[in-house]
Amino acid sequence: MVNHNLALKHDNILTPEINIKETPLKWCTVSLSDVISRGNRLDASMFDVEAKQARKLIETGKYPLTAIGGETGLASSYTCGRFKRIWVQKSNFPIYQPSTILDMKPTPDGYISELTKTNIDALRVHSGQVLMTCSGTIGNISYVSRTLDNCVFSHDLLRINCKKSCDAGYVYAYLKSKIGHKILLTNSYGAVITHIEPEHLATVPIPDAPVMIKNKINDLIVRSYALRDESNDLLDEATQLLVDELQLPPICDLQVNYFKKDAAVDTFSVKLSNIAGRVDASYHVPVVDAIMAHLQKYAEEVTTIGDDRISKAVVLPGRFKRVYVDEGNGRVLFGGKQLSELDPSNKKYLSASKHEKRIIEQLEIAEGMTLITRSGTIGKVALVPKHWEHWVASEHIIRVVPASKDIAGYLNVFLSSEYGHQLITRFTYGSVVDEIDDNHVRQIAIPLLKDHDTQKCINRLALQANQKRFEAYQMEQKALTIMDNEVLYAK
């Protein structure tokens, strides 16, 4: 017999109050004609609720609507015809891929021959244009400033020419906004667009704000991109100082010690004493030996990243299962693919409560850190700007914490150079997915210059460039805030 039946003593038990936070209901109305045009489908997945709400917002907004494209719209747009590329090792025609338009300092995908059967000049983009990716990942937006002016891009990139110069930055800011971007990627009944053609812009509505507001937004965007140009100039100057001080020739001109110079493939020998536990040929490529020999000749000293004069720590976060949350409820997370962007696209938000300890100890990044991609595409390098402070980079990125501000910029300039890239990628291992780890990064060679003043100058220029990128970000965010407060949500 049970003397104490706790189940009967429920009057003395306090039931904890449970508060369930409801997720805001997403809803919209759908006309019968929309249902019929979508194949008589009634499932909500066929209609983008947020896009329909976005269209409703601007339709009931403060300003009348016009279109981005079309005869009466703010701009005209075009793409170029397809063509077969003739690739060459080097030419006067470097060609860029649409995916690079978000990069702060884009690099060409390769070089095409002047014999390529297309109008190469028609592929060039020009200052003041707004660029948009129209296939693959669609809807990425950029503005053409001095960095991209006259560059050759592939055919599948939408070039937008605004009829009035003040409209370029305004259209850019609208398409970068959450409302404008959502409308761009859907048609009038909410179906997601998988490819954008120039004529699609004639169906994309945009509020026709007063000229004063357009000018204010345009000026901020133009200034933002001018600051990016200035930062690139400073980095080019810093890199040139490094090259001049170390008397670094183009990599292709380095004297590489091949075993048989006239062989059909590169052949070389390696002493047993230099194996270093690695028998993969990629680790022992002769060009790395040539770079090291050159650095030892012209530098005051060649040390490694693991030297405590160079870094305080090299951090490789462990893999973990991520818990994502909605925007505003967690920490900004981005990956290696976005490392070259000013404001990383496709940001996600990591739960701070679930990953607090890991974020603090491993994942959080700080201004002045150098980030290096460690898997997939190896050796992409970035110097953390101020606006990335306290954001979270994925575990596929290695963090190098500089010993001090006096070395942070110089370290990044060298690693970002083509010579630094070779010294990083030599450690690559893996048969399917390329990898490097924190131990490899600690072994990467870093030259210290004989002229200490030049080294300080390089460091200062890199930090100034980073500051300008922070200011560029602030300018763009201010323009987007004006777009939201004074145009899209204005009453």
CA quadruple 147, 149, 155, 159: dihedral positive or negative? Answer: positive
Can you give the CATH number for the domain in which 164 is found? 3.90.220.20
Residue 137 is encoded by which pair of tokens?
Answer: 């990942």
- pLDDT for the residue numbered 13: 45
Cα–Cα distances in Å, from 299 out to 256, 302, 307, 402, 416?
19, 7, 16, 20, 18
Contact 106, 147 (CB under 8 A): yes
Which distant-in-sequence residues (6+ apart) come within 8 Å of 222 by Cβ? 143, 145, 168, 169
Is residue 409, in this structure, part of any structural domain at all? yes
157-162 and 130-133 as β-strands: parallel, antiparallel, unpaired? Answer: antiparallel
Q: 445-456: string of b/e by CB count within 10 Å (b at 16+)?
A: bbbbbeeeebbe
Is residue 218, in this structure, part of any structural domain at all? no
- Full domain range(s) for residue 458: 230-472
Residue 41 is encoded by which pair of tokens?
Answer: 């489908």
Out of 149, 176, 208, a domain closes at 208
Taking the C-alpha atoms of 97, 101, 102 and 108 in order, what is their torsion angle to the nearest 10 degrees? 50
Is residue 274, in this structure, part of any structural domain at all? yes
In the three-class reduction of DSSP (H, G, I as helix; E, B as strand; rest coil), residue 13 is classed as coil
Amino acid at 264: A
Quote the number of domains for the chain: 2
In the three-class reduction of DSSP (H, G, I as helix; E, B as strand; rest coil), residue 175 is classed as helix
Same domain, 330 and 466: yes
Same domain, 180 and 298: no
Residue linked to tokens 């040390």 = 303
Is residue 26, in this structure, part of any structural domain at all? no
- pLDDT for the residue numbered 393: 94
In the three-class reduction of DSSP (H, G, I as helix; E, B as strand; rest coil), residue 199 is classed as helix
- pLDDT for the residue numbered 18: 44
Is residue 220, in this structure, part of any structural domain at all? no
Amino acid at 336: G
List per-residue pLDDT tens for the chain, 491 residues long: 445 544 444 444 444 444 444 445 666 677 787 777 666 767 665 567 788 888 889 999 999 999 999 999 999 999 998 889 999 988 999 999 999 999 999 999 999 999 999 999 999 999 999 999 988 888 999 999 999 999 999 988 999 999 999 999 999 999 999 999 999 988 655 667 778 889 999 989 999 999 999 999 999 999 999 999 999 999 999 999 999 999 999 888 887 776 666 666 777 777 787 787 787 777 878 888 889 999 999 999 999 999 999 999 999 998 888 999 988 888 999 999 999 999 998 889 999 888 988 898 899 999 999 999 999 889 999 999 999 999 999 999 999 999 999 999 999 999 999 999 999 999 998 877 889 999 999 999 999 999 999 999 999 999 999 999 999 999 999 999 999 999 999 98
Is residue 293, in this structure, part of any structural domain at all? yes
- pLDDT for the residue numbered 27: 67
Taking the C-alpha atoms of 122, 224, 345 and 384 in order, what is their torsion angle to the nearest 10 degrees? 120
- pLDDT for the residue numbered 8: 44
Output helix, strand, coil percentages for the chain, rounded to the nearest 5: 40, 15, 45
> What is the spatial distance between Cα 379 and Cα 363, in angstroms, rounded to a whole number?
19
Please state the pTM of the whole predicted model.
Answer: 0.88
- pLDDT for the residue numbered 190: 60
DSSP conformation letters of 145-166:
-TTTTT-EE-SSEEEEEESSHH
> What is the spatial distance between Cα 287 and Cα 303, in angstroms, rounded to a whole number?
19
Q: What backbone torsions phi and psi does residue 158 show, to the nearest 5 degrees?
A: -80, 125
Is residue 236, in this structure, part of any structural domain at all? yes
Same domain, 279 and 162: no
Is residue 444, in this structure, part of any structural domain at all? yes
